[in-house]
A = this chain, B = another copy of it.
Amino acid sequence: MGFELTILGSSSATPIYDRHPTSQLLVFRDRHFLIDCGEGTQMQMLKYKIRYHRISHIFISHLHGDHYLGLIGLLSTYHLQGRSTDLHLFGQQDLMDIIEMHLRASQTVLRYNLIFHHIRHYAPEILFEDDEIYVRSIVLNHRIPCTGFVFGEKPRPRRLKVDKLQEHNIPFTQYTRIKAGDNFVDSEGNVISNLELTEDPQPSRSYAFCSDTLYNPELAEDIKGVDLLYHEATFLHEMQERAVATFHSTAKEAAMVAKDANAGKLVIGHFSARYKDIEPLLDEAKTVFDNTELAVEGEVFKID
């Protein structure tokens, strides 16, 4: 069942070489999450034919312009196009003050509910959850308050062994309880173990978005076993000093996090404007963690 990431922006601080500032769309079944929203995100969504009206939750990692300057325009487009469904926005407190100031200046009262959720950047927290997925924040180390996000599927129900259920004449009405792990007890008090009636569920899938951050080996612990990891890789490792000075990571460091976290796959992005050719960043990451790909705009990564 669908769980996939679309890259909308892959550039760091400034747009260049037709690369755009950070933005990603994560679709989990019918849920559409937007992660960061750099300038031009709405144009990128038009270009890649994203059904952007389905986005219900927007997560902003931090308030450097390349991660949120497309947000005001998107909110305004929703307003002008008559959106009526609620929109949940997660970000640092200043973000809502900024939005309100823009709305005041244009004398706009949004036609839909914009529900703001203040992210506490100093400690991880569950930002959102429903019956199938949760989103939790990760504390990152950047020049200003910055968080990453883990999108984790909740444990899925056990899978029924239909032949066994039939063999024991178990009524349909009991299936939900058995899926949830209960044993079956018949009218005479005989117990049939759940283990006989079900198989283990499909493993839960997860995606971690690690936005701008200084390399932090402890991060791997926080995202252990993630299926897909996006980690910024602004520089080649030969520029590590510059990476440290600007609170960014190198391609090698991103791969070290992926390796230590035992991630399924790594996607690197947030490429510095100094790299017209980004292949060397990929090559460098692969020396440490082979299953790495570049965050090419328009590319879709399935989380299986």
Partner-B contacts on A (CB < 8 A): 13-16, 20-21, 39-40, 42-43, 46, 63-66, 69-70, 72-73, 76-77, 80-81, 92, 94-95, 97-98, 101-102, 104-107, 143-144
Looking at A46, A64, A106, A144, the one whose CB has the most chain B CB atoms below 10 A away is A106
Residue of B13, B43, B69, B144 touching A20 (CB-CB under 8 A): B43
What B residues does A14 contact at CB under 8 A? Answer: 42, 76-77, 80-81
Q: Bound complex: CA of A97 vs CA of B144, how far in Å?
A: 21
Q: Bound complex: CA of A94 vs CA of B100, how far in Å?
A: 12
This chain: copies in complex: 2
User: Separation in Å of the A162 CB from the closest CB of chain B?
Assistant: 51
| Beta-carbon contact of A107 and B46 below 8 Å | no
**A69 and chain B: residue at smallest CB distance:** B73
**A73 and chain B: residue at smallest CB distance:** B39
Residue of B73, B102, B144 touching A106 (CB-CB under 8 A): B144
| Beta-carbon contact of A105 and B40 below 8 Å | no
Residue of B39, B46, B64, B98 touching A101 (CB-CB under 8 A): B98
| Beta-carbon contact of B101 and A105 below 8 Å | no
Q: Bound complex: CA of A92 vs CA of B97, how far in Å?
A: 19
What B residues does A40 contact at CB under 8 A? Answer: 39-40, 43
**A62 and chain B: residue at smallest CB distance:** B106
Residue of B15, B76, B92, B102 touching A105 (CB-CB under 8 A): B92
